């Protein structure tokens, strides 16, 4: 079978097409999946740049998120059969409940092989059926970006309908969060460097938009929009440049979900701005299989379709990475396998 290989820190040029042995044997609890679509995440770019914390010193198959078709099952598999459409949970060992270290030690495409390949064999416990309203391309975006947004909005806070949610930028996590938060009845504010992207966000239901280049002190605009109160939840994906601003924009008793660092994974927080207002800063680490199942049900009931910006073929994997690195995308970038 064909697969891609990445070396930590060898940039996008270091992505190479390789040949791996076909999967001929399955353990009794394993499912063999023909991969149909793989979505890219910011993490996949970080690996090419050598800045992802979990590093392998050898080449690995990149990427964590796929959707595909079951083409064989092991003798003791009970949850799936040939022909089922499935996706894999980001952490194969975090099935449900609270996060513990042992549940998040293993994941795909970080320091071990991932999913940018034609076929994969995985334990059935890590797989989830694709909701009926989604095709493979859309479903491939749920395991990381989708679950991260779900965890932030539905699991890590106690929002009531009509709560205020701030999302930063128009990448994969933020646009999924916009869709989910609107479906849950919240008011959503969004920032972007691009007025055209902000216009697109409005068509998806964003209640207010802020250009963070034109308004570098955008937290003040958020305070204005909330009559000085601040929002109930911020999905903080910006890091260095945004984290203190996000905290300032968080209201009394509100939550800043710490998710990422597209402007750098450092930054400083003034403890006083957490203390006054009894705000909480909550680290989000994707989520469990149970969260992926809840997200799938929610998207199906509400007919939510992830926003796909661009689809590339398997031969165009380096171009897909380049496209994402250029930051022109709105929502998700996906690779389709024939």
Ligand X SMILES: NC(=O)c1ccc[n+]([C@@H]2O[C@H](COP(=O)([O-])OP(=O)(O)OC[C@H]3O[C@@H](n4cnc5c(N)ncnc54)[C@H](OP(=O)(O)O)[C@@H]3O)[C@@H](O)[C@H]2O)c1
Determine if 263 is a binding residue for ligand X (CB under 6 A).
yes
171-to-3, 61, 149, 205 alpha-carbon distances in Å: 26, 23, 11, 16
Nearest CB to ligand X, comparing residues 109 and 171: 171
- Report the DSSP beta bridge partners of residue 308: 332
Nearest CB to ligand X, comparing residues 15 and 325: 325
Q: Which of 219, 242, 246, 299 binds ligand X (CB under 6 A)?
A: 242
Closest residue by Cα to residue 226 from 208, 200, 247: 208
Which residues contact residue 96 at a Cβ distance below 8 angstroms, ignoring those fewer than 6 apart? 288, 289, 290
Shortest Cβ 328–ligand X spacing (Å): 7
CB-CB contact of 136 with 130 (8 Å) = yes
Q: Which of 14, 74, 318, 327 binds ligand X (CB under 6 A)?
A: 327
Determine if 62 is a binding residue for ligand X (CB under 6 A).
no
Question: Among the candidate windows 69-77, 130-138, 260-268, 300-308, which touches ligand X by CB under 6 A?
Answer: 260-268
Determine if 261 is a binding residue for ligand X (CB under 6 A).
yes
Shortest Cβ 43–ligand X spacing (Å): 5
Nearest CB to ligand X, comparing residues 194 and 294: 194
Question: Among the candidate windows 69-77, 134-142, 221-229, 253-261, which touches ligand X by CB under 6 A?
Answer: 253-261
**Contacts with ligand X, 283-302, as mask; x by CB under 6 A:** -xxx----------------
Question: DSSP class of residue 118?
Answer: S
Cα dihedral sign for 23, 25, 27, 28?
Answer: positive
Determine if 172 is a binding residue for ligand X (CB under 6 A).
yes
Nearest CB to ligand X, comparing residues 94 and 136: 94
Determine if 244 is a binding residue for ligand X (CB under 6 A).
no
Determine if 142 is a binding residue for ligand X (CB under 6 A).
no
Residues 139, 37: Cα–Cα separation, whole Å = 8
Determine if 245 is a binding residue for ligand X (CB under 6 A).
no
Count the neighbouring beta carbons within 10 Å of the beta carbon of residue 76: 10
Closest residue by Cα to residue 152 from 288, 293, 257, 15: 257
Residue owning tokens 């994707």: 286
Nearest CB to ligand X, comparing residues 30 and 89: 89
Which residues contact residue 61 at a Cβ distance below 8 angstroms, ignoring those fewer than 6 apart? 3, 4, 5, 6, 20, 109, 113, 114, 115, 116, 117
Residue owning tokens 């914390």: 53
Shortest Cβ 175–ligand X spacing (Å): 8
Determine if 145 is a binding residue for ligand X (CB under 6 A).
yes
Helices 289-301, 172-183: axis angle to 10 degrees equals: 60
CB-CB contact of 212 with 189 (8 Å) = no
Q: Which of 92, 169, 251, 267 binds ligand X (CB under 6 A)?
A: 169
Nearest CB to ligand X, comparing residues 137 and 262: 262
**Contacts with ligand X, 82-101, as mask; x by CB under 6 A:** --------------------
Residues 292, 64: Cα–Cα separation, whole Å = 14
| Residues binding ligand X (CB under 6 A) | 41-43, 144-145, 148, 168-174, 191-194, 197, 212, 237-238, 241-242, 259-263, 284-286, 324, 327
């Amino acid at each position: 079978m064909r697969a891609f290989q990445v070396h930590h820190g060898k940039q996008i040029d270091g992505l190479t097409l390789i040949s791996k042995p076909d999967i001929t044997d399955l353990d009794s609890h394993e499912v063999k999946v023909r991969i149909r679509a793989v979505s890219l995440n910011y993490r996949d770019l970080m690996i090419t740049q050598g800045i992802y914390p979990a590093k392998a010193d050898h080449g690995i198959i990149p990427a964590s998120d796929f959707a595909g078709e079951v083409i064989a099952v092991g003798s003791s598999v009970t949850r799936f059969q040939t022909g089922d459409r499935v996706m894999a949970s980001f952490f194969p060992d975090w099935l449900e409940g609270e996060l513990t270290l042992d549940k998040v030690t293993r994941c795909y495409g970080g320091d071990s092989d991932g999913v940018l390949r034609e076929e994969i064999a995985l334990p059935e416990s890590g797989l989830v059926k694709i909701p009926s309203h989604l095709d493979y391309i859309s479903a491939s975006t749920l395991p990381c970006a989708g679950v991260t947004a779900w965890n932030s909005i539905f699991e890590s806070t106690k929002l009531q309908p009509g709560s205020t949610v701030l999302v930063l930028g128009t990448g994969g996590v933020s646009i999924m969060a916009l869709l989910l938060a609107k479906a849950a009845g919240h008011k959503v504010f969004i920032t972007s460097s691009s007025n055209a992207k902000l216009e697109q966000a409005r068509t998806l239901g964003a209640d207010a938009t802020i250009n963070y280049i034109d308004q570098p002190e955008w937290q003040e605009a958020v305070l204005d929009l909330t009559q000085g109160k601040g929002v109930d939840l911020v999905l903080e994906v910006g890091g260095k440049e945004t984290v203190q601003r996000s905290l300032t924009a968080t209201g009394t008793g509100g939550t800043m979900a710490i998710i990422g660092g597209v402007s750098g994974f450092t930054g400083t927080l003034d403890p006083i701005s957490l203390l006054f207002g009894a705000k909480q800063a909550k680290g989000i680490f994707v989520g469990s299989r149970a969260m992926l199942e809840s997200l799938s049900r929610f998207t199906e009931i509400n007919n939510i379709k992830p926003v796909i910006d661009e689809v590339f073929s398997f031969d165009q994997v380096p171009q897909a990475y380049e496209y994402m690195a250029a930051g022109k995308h709105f929502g998700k970038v996906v690779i389709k396998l024939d």
